Structure 1
Amino acid sequence: MAAVFSFTLVALDREALLKGLAPLSGNPFGVPSLSAAGAIESGAAETLLEREQRALAEFIAKRYRIAHDAAARFVSIAYRAGEQHSVDPLLILAVMAIESRYNPVAESVVGAKGLMQVIPKFHLDKLDDHGGEQAVLEPEVNIQVGAQILREYTRRFGDQEFALQMYAGAVDTPGSQYAAKVMAEKARLEPVRQKARKESAQSA
């Protein structure tokens, strides 16, 4: 839950994921370029980036029992937001998993909303760049703002673990439990990314 400085960890609502709800140049995390993102639609061979995102979408759809099209869209947006805000897209996806289990309409009792559980009243300045508070449940907006918050906290505090605890409003929670959950989820995604990259290199 993306909060500011007073913080308690809040249990998330588990609403049903809406069905039927996707592209990045080089960045510090080794994410390949999005310049060829339309290759599959145009009939060209699958690019490294497309293979990577497809593998992650398949993994997420299966693990969290959501529609594949929705998972593919969330992955694509996470990669785009990761490039724009210099955040590893896997970290963005991991936060989504812990915060909402990829439920785009999730809302908590304290008003955290969407895939990354953004609390609008704390981040109106960021939401204003995307159409205002009413857009917070749109996946593109929610992920972009969530990624921006992650970058802001990481830069401000210089420590990813503390930044994650701050994101959750759980800085007083013993043992950095929230950060540990996010990093464990990211660790589950990393082999999927690496396998896709290896397969792409072998088929090149």
Structure 2
Amino acid sequence: MSRLLCLLALTFGATLGAMQGAVAQERAPEAAQLDAAASDATAEATHQVSRLISQKFGVARAKAEQISAAVMSAASKYSLPPALLLAIISVESRFKEKARGANGATGLMQVVPAAHKQLVRNIDLTEATANIEAGSAILHGYVQSARGDVGAALKSYGGSKAYAEKVSLRAKTLAPEVGLDAGTNAETNRN
């Protein structure tokens, strides 16, 4: 009797496994189509951002594409709105990679190495992708510390409420130009 039960269990398990495999194969094309659509949408958004950077800020096409790809990648990685990152870059450096500011602030997002020694150790902050990655990681940390309050995070990033308001306004201006979310909700305007 126990052999019969084992045989039935094995047969049922094999049949169930085959059925699950068939369902997975049916769903695979759907998943691939969804992945392709998402990839196309990301590529289109990256292209629109690149065009905006090139036209509005006079950045060469190849450099604009590099910056755009870095912004989109960092935005996705750190769950930040691309328009917000673009706004910070436009306010901080006007898309000049080698920009230098107060307190040693360097690059597109004006990262201050002395304030973030562990994060930026051995990083060339004048390189666009590295700077955007570092600046986005810093901003993400501030957003987490502020429990999602983007306005408070921007105050920490730029040092003042006026800075936070300026970046928020710029993000709201840039977002529709490239079809992106500005990421500046009501919490941005907290005191």
Determine if the alignment matches structure 1 residue 91 to structure 2 residue 80: no
Provide the rounded CA distance (Å) in 1 between the counterparts of 2:94 and 2:105: 14
Determine if the alignment matches structure 1 residue 164 to structure 2 residue 161: no
Aligned to 1:53: 46
Runs of at least 5 residues in structure 2 that lack an aligned partner in the other structure = 1-33, 181-191
Change in CA separation of 1:59 and 1:72 when aligned onto 2, cut-off 3 Å: same
Determine if the alignment matches structure 1 residue 154 to structure 2 residue 152: no
Q: Percentage identity across aligned positions?
A: 28
Aligned to 1:179: 164
Runs of at least 5 residues in structure 1 that lack an aligned partner in the other structure = 1-31, 38-46, 171-175, 196-204
Provide the rounded CA distance (Å) in 2 between the counterparts of 1:188 and 1:111: 29
CA contact (8 A) 2:143 2:153 kept: yes
Aligned to 2:69: 76
SS at 1:123 equivalent: helix
Change in CA separation of 1:33 and 1:179 when aligned onto 2, cut-off 3 Å: farther
Aligned to 1:115: 108
Provide the rounded CA distance (Å) in 2 between the counterparts of 1:189 and 1:34: 27
Higher relative contact order (CA 8 A, sep 6+): 1
Provide the rounded CA distance (Å) in 2 between the counterparts of 1:33 and 1:162: 35
Provide the rounded CA distance (Å) in 2 between the counterparts of 1:92 and 1:182: 9
CA contact (8 A) 2:52 2:178 kept: no
Provide the rounded CA distance (Å) in 1 between the counterparts of 2:66 and 2:104: 24
SS at 1:118 equivalent: coil
Instruction: Normalising by structure 2, report the TM-score.
Output: 0.70
How many residue pairs get aligned? The number is 146
Q: What amino acid maps onto 2:153 in structure 1?
A: A
Q: Which has the higher helix share?
A: 2
RMSD, aligned CA = 2.2
Q: Deviations over 1:135-169 (max 9, x none)?
A: 12111111001000111001102221111011012
Residue 33 of structure 1 deviates from its aligned partner by: 6.5
SS at 1:190 equivalent: helix
CA contact (8 A) 1:153 1:167 kept: yes
Change in CA separation of 1:36 and 1:102 when aligned onto 2, cut-off 3 Å: same
Change in CA separation of 1:65 and 1:34 when aligned onto 2, cut-off 3 Å: farther
CA contact (8 A) 2:49 2:68 kept: yes
Instruction: Normalising by structure 1, report the TM-score.
Output: 0.65
SS at 1:101 equivalent: coil
Change in CA separation of 1:185 and 1:34 when aligned onto 2, cut-off 3 Å: farther
Determine if the alignment matches structure 1 residue 138 to structure 2 residue 123: no
Bigger radius of gyration: 2
